Structure 1
Amino acid sequence: MELDLIKRVYFIGAGGIGMSALARYFKKRGCLVGGYDKTRTVLTSHLEEEGILISYVDELSSLPAGFEVTAADTLIVYTPAIPKNSVLLNYFRDHGFNLQKRSQVLGIISKGQFCIAVAGTHGKTTTSSIVAHILTDTGYGCTAFLGGIATNYQSNFLLGDNNVVVVEADEYDRSFLTLHPDIAVITSMDADHLDIYGDAAQLHESFQLFAKQLKPGGTLFFKDGLPIAEGITYGSDTTATVQALNIRVEQGSFVFDYQDEKVSITDIPLMLPGKHNVENATVAIAVAIRLGIDPVKVKAAVANFKGVKRRFEYVVREDKHIYIDDYAHHPEELRACFHAVRQLYPDKKMTVVFQPHLFSRTRDFANEFAEVLSTVDSLLLLDIYPARELPMEGINSEFLRAKLTLENSGVYSNEEVLKYVKENQPELLVTVGAGDIDTLIQPLKNILTNV
C-alpha cells in the first residue's frame, strides 16, 4: 500500500505505545484516524485530546463514520495482542479491508526514506530515543516512532521536516524483518519471546536475518560479543571498534569518554545511570557521527537528554527517600537496573516491588529471575501480569518466590504493597515490571512524600 494513498486509518489496540505513535503520525498527515482499545489510559486520553476517535467497546456500533465500508484509501492497523475473536478485527478481515501489523506500517512509512532502525531484546527504546533526541536537538532533524515517552518531548512521536526516520525494530513475532534500514543497531540478543521462537537459536537467526536487511551501502552497529558476522562493534570493552571509556560516577551522575577510529569526545555527562545506558548512548553517538553531525553538538545533546518514562525514572529523589521506577521485565534488564542502583546508592538497602510479565516468560526464566531477584534486600512480588496469555497451571508468583534464596520476600497484592511501604518507609524503593505496575507509581509517591 502506498503511503500517499492512505486517507483513513483505524487502529485495533490503539493504546499500545508503538501504535499510538503511528496514530499521531497519520493524524499529523491529515488522515481521518480512529481506534479501539479495551481500556482507557492516560495514553488513549491524550490521543482523544489530539482529535483521534477512540472507542472502548469491541462492537461494530463503535466504529466512527467512514470506516464501515471497504475502501482503497483505508488502512486497518492491528496489534498481534488482540484476541482472535475480536469483533472488530474479524469484521475488517471478513470484509476485505487492508489489514497490516504495526511493523508492516513502519515498513510502508520508511520505504523511500533514510531509515535508522534500532533492534534488541532490551535497550532499543532508550537507544532509539537518544538517537532521535540527538538528531532533533542538534537541528539535524528526524521523524521518530518510539517505544516510550521521551521526557524531553513528553511524546513517543517526533515529526521532522526531512526524510530521516528513526524506528524501533521489534523482534517480537519477527516484526523487524519488514524493515530495510540505512543504519541499523542491535543492542542485545538475550533469549526472550520463547513462546514465539522456541529457543535462543531461532531468536538469533532472526536477528542475523535482520542484520542482512540493510540497504546497499548501509551501516550496522552491534554490541560487542553478539553473534553477528559483519558490522561495527560498540561497547565498553577494549575489543570494540566504538568504545565508551573511563566510565565513572561524578556527583551522582555517570560520565564517560567516547572513542571511535576517527573521533574522540571526552567528559560526556549522562543523566541516565548504569553501564548499559552509557553503552546505549555510545552507539547513539556513533550513529550521529556517521551522519556527519558536529561532535560538540552531539555531546551537548547527550548531556541534556532527560530519559524515557519508566526507564530508570526517578519518582522521588529526596534525602529521606529515593524511589526509582523501571520497565525492566527480563532477568538481564533487572540485573542491569539493580547494578546501576547499587553503583549510585551502595550504602542504602534496596526494597524492590516486581511484577512478573507473562506466564511463559516466568516459566522459561524462573531460575534466572530467582538469581537476580535474590540480590536485593527486600522483595515484594505482585501476581503475574498475563498480557496476551491464559494462565498456566502451577506457574504463578508463589512458584517464583519458592525459588528465591532471599528470606525477606513474599507475594503481595497492590493494597498490601501500599500498606507495607507506608509502614516501613523504605529509604530506597524500586518498582520494576512491564504490566500495570505503573498504576502504583502515584500512590507510592504520595506515601513517600506524605501527600
Structure 2
Amino acid sequence: MTHPIAPLESLGRVHFIGIGGVGMSAIARIMVARGVPVSGTDAKDLPVMHDLATAGARIAVGYDSGNLGDAQTVVAGSAIRADNPELSAARQAGLPVLHRSEALAATMDGHRVVTIAGTHGKSTTTSMVAVLLKEAGLDPSFAIGANVPALGVNADHGSSDIFVAEADESDGSFLNYRPLIAVVTNVEADHLDHYGTAEAVFASFDNFAALLPPHGLLLACADDAGARALAERTAAKGTTRVLTYGTGDDADIRLGDGGPGDVSVAVDGASYTLNLQVPGRHNALNAAAAFAVALELGVAPVTAATALGHFTGASRRFELKGQGRGVRVYDDYAHHPTEVRAALSAARSVAGGNKVHVLFQPHLFSRTREFAAEFASALDAADTALVLDIYPAREDPIPGVTSSLIADRLSQGRLVSGDEAVEAIVAAAGEGDIVLTVGAGDVTAYGPVIVEALGG
C-alpha cells in the first residue's frame, strides 16, 4: 500500500468523510491549524466536530453528496462504505481520494518523523513520547489514536520540526510513512482478516523497518520475541541503526522494574528513576521506549525521566472511570489476548490482595475465531470474567463464531447479556476490588453505568 507522499500544499481544499473518528479528527485538526481549508461530515454529531468547527472547519452531520462543496481532495475513513454518497460523488468527479494514512503522511512531510508501531501499546507509547517532548520544551506536532488527558487533545500542530505519530499496521497503511525514528513495541499475529497469515504480519514489519534511512533509528522492544527478531533481521541488513530496550542485560536501554515506585532506566552506565503514574510492566516498557526517543532527539536523560512523570495515561488505556462502595472501575481498550493479559496484570498490581472482576466484549468475529482459547486463558487471570456478545465492527457474522467460544473455556466466568452484565458485576465486587471493562467496542459505555450502580 506504499504511495508517494503528496505535499500538504498540493491537496487544496480537503474534505473528510467520517471526520468524527479519533484518527480522522486528529489529521483534520492539524490541517486546520496549518491553514488548510477543511470540511467534513460524519453520521453522528460528535463533540470533536464542534471543536473542529470552532477552529474553522466546515462541518455537517449526515452524508450527502452536496457536502463535498468545492473540495479538491477527499479523505475517507476506513469505516466508510464504498456506496457512501459522498465517496461515490468524489470518485465520479475524479477527485483524489486519500486513505487516512496518506493524509497523515502529507501533514508529516518536511518534519523529523517519529512513528510508533506494534501490535499493542501504540497509543500509550505515542502519548508518552508527545507528553515527554512537550514537557522538555520541544513542542512537537503529534497525532494519536486516543485522547490524552495530559495533552488535552489527540493531535496538535507544534512549533518544532518534530512530528510524533501512531503508525497503525492493521491494514498495512503504516507503510505510507517515512520515519526518521521508528519504535516497535511488539510484533504478534493479529489482523489476520487483512494479512491472512502470521508470516505476512512479520513481513509487513520488515517492510516498515526498511523505510528508515541510513541515519535513522529502529527502537525495538527486546522483551518481545517478535520485536527482538525484527531488530535482529534489520541489524543484519545494516541499512539503518538499531537499538533495543527491555529488562534483559543485553538491551541497549535497560528497564529496571521492581513494581510501582521502583522503575528505572539505565543507559551508557547511568541509571535514571522513572516516577510513573501508570501501572503495569507493559507501561514501564512503553516509558523506556519514550525515554529512548527523547535521548535520540537530544533531550537530557534527567529531563526525560522527570517529564515522564507528567504522563497520566491515554483515554481507554486502563482509564479510571470512577468508584463506589470502595470498588474502583477502570476501562481498557484491550482487544487482543496479549493486551487483555497486560490489562489484568495492571489491575492486579492496583488491587493488591483484593479481587479483579472483568467484563469483556470480543471485537470482530474473525479475531474471536482465531484467538478464542488465548482470550479464555488471559481472562482466567481474573476472579470473575463475564463475556458479552461479539462487537462486529466492520464484519458480517461468521457461522458458528460466537462469544461462547471464549466463555465455554473459562474456569471462572460465563456469557452474559447486556441487561444482566451490570447487575452481575456489582453483585460480585466487594470493597477494595477492581472492576475492569475490556474491549474495543461499546463495552466502554458500561463503566459509568457500573459506577452509578455502585453508588459512585
Fold similarity call, TM over 0.5: yes
Q: How many angstroms does 1:315 deviate by?
A: 1.8
> Could you tell me how far 1:151 is from its partner in structure 2?
1.0
Q: Cα–Cα, structure 1 residues 27 and 193, in superposed 2: closer, same or farther, change >3 Å?
A: same
- Given the alignment of the two structures, is residue 205 of structure 1 paired with residue 203 of structure 2, yes or no? yes
Is the contact made by 1:131 and 1:284 (CA closer than 8 Å) also made in structure 2?
yes
Check whether the contact 1:53–1:64 (CA below 8 A) recurs between aligned residues. Answer: no
Tell me whether 1:238 sits opposite 2:242 in the alignment.
Answer: no
Within a 5 Å distance, the mapping from 1:361-376 to structure 2 comes to 361-376=367-382
CA offsets 1:391-419 (integer angstroms, 9 cap, x no match): 1111111232122232x422221x32233
Structure 1 segment 163-174 matched on structure 2, within 5 A: 163-174=161-172
Q: Is the 8 A contact 2:129 2:294 kept in 1?
A: yes
Aligned to 1:85: 83
The one-letter code sitting in structure 2 at the alignment partner of 1:55 is: A
Paired position in structure 2 for 1:144: 142
Q: Which runs of 5+ in 1 are unaligned?
A: 68-73
SS in 2 for 1:155: coil
Correspondences of 1:48-447 after superposition (within 5 Å):
48-61=53-66, 63=67, 65-67=69-71, 74-224=72-222, 225=225, 226=227, 227-228=229-230, 229=233, 230=235, 231-250=242-261, 255-261=262-268, 264-316=270-322, 320-406=326-412, 408-413=413-418, 415-426=419-430, 427-447=433-453
Note closer, same or farther for the CA distance 1:288–1:319 as it changes in structure 2 (3 Å cut). Answer: farther
Measured on the aligned residues, the alpha-carbon RMSD in Å equals 1.9
Change (3 A) 1:194 1:183: same
SS at match of 1:404: coil
Q: Once the 2 structures are TM-superposed, how far is the Cα of residue 355 of structure 1 from its aligned partner? A: 1.0
Aligned residues: 436
Change (3 A) 1:443 1:53: farther
Per-residue CA distance 1:269-317 (angstroms, 9 max, x = gap): 1011111110000011011011111222212210111111111112225
1:169 and 1:291, CA in 2 relative to 1: closer, same or farther beyond 3 A? same
Corresponding residue of 1:37: 42
Question: Partners of 1:49 and 1:439 in 2: how far apart?
Answer: 27
Q: 1:273 to 1:24 in 2, by over 3 A?
A: same
Q: How many angstroms does 1:64 deviate by?
A: 5.8
* Change in CA separation of 1:139 and 1:318 when aligned onto 2, cut-off 3 Å: farther
Q: How many angstroms does 1:343 deviate by? A: 2.3
CA contact (8 A) 2:34 2:157 kept: no
Q: In the alignment, residue 66 of structure 1 is paired with which amino acid?
A: D
Contact 1:398 1:411 in 2 (8 A): no
SS at match of 1:153: coil
Describe the SS at the equivalent of 1:379.
strand
- When residues 364 and 40 of structure 1 are mapped into structure 2, their CA distance, relative to the original with a 3 A threshold, is farther
2:14 partner letter: V
Aligned identity (percent) is 36
Deviation at 1:33, TM superposition (A): 1.8
Task: Work out whether residues 421 and 447 of structure 1, in 8 Å CA contact, stay in contact via their aligned partners in 2.
Answer: no
Closer, same or farther in 2 for the Cα pair 1:409/1:41, shift >3 Å? farther
Paired residues of 2:149 and 2:315 also in contact (CA < 8 A): yes
CA drift at 1:50: 4.0
Q: Distance in 2 between matches of 1:319 and 1:244?
A: 37
- Counterpart AA for 2:27: L
CA distance 1:64–1:97, change in 2 (3 Å): closer
Give me the whole-angstrom Cα distance separating, in 2, the residues matched to 1:44 and 1:380. Answer: 35
- Alignment-mate amino acid for residue 136 of structure 1: K
Cα distance in structure 1, aligned partners of 2:108 and 2:267: 28
Rounded to whole Å, the distance in 1 between the matches of 2:325 and 2:442 is: 28
Contact 2:115-2:183 within 8 A present in 1 as well: yes
Cα distance per residue 1:38-64 (max 9 Å; x no partner): 233344454345443333423224x06
Q: How far apart are residue 153 of structure 1 and its match?
A: 1.8
**Range that drifts further, 241-250 or 356-365:** 241-250
Cα separation, 2, equivalents of 1:149 and 1:322: 21
SS at match of 1:248: coil
Q: Residue 314 of structure 1 aligns to a residue in which SS?
A: strand
Q: Give a deviation string over 1:48-92, Cα, whole Å, max 9, x none.
A: 45443333423224x06433xxxxxx2211122211222211211
> Normalising by structure 2, what TM-score?
0.91
* Match in the other structure for 2:239: none
Q: Residues 162 and 398 of structure 1: is their aligned pair in 2 closer, same or farther, counting only changes over 3 Å? A: same
The aligned amino acid for 1:242 is I
Q: Deviations over 1:77-127 (max 9, x none)?
A: 112221122221121112111111111122222222111111101111111
Task: Please say if residues 39 and 56 of structure 1, whose CA atoms lie closer than 8 Å, have aligned partners that are also in contact.
Answer: yes
Contact 1:401/1:411, CA 8 A, preserved across alignment: no
Q: How far 1:246 sits from its partner (Å)?
A: 4.3
Distance 1:404 1:39 in 2: 37
Q: Which amino acid aligns with 1:93?
A: R
Moved more, 120-129 or 431-440: 431-440
1:125–1:381 Cα change, 3 Å: same
Residue number in structure 1 paired with 2:30 = 25
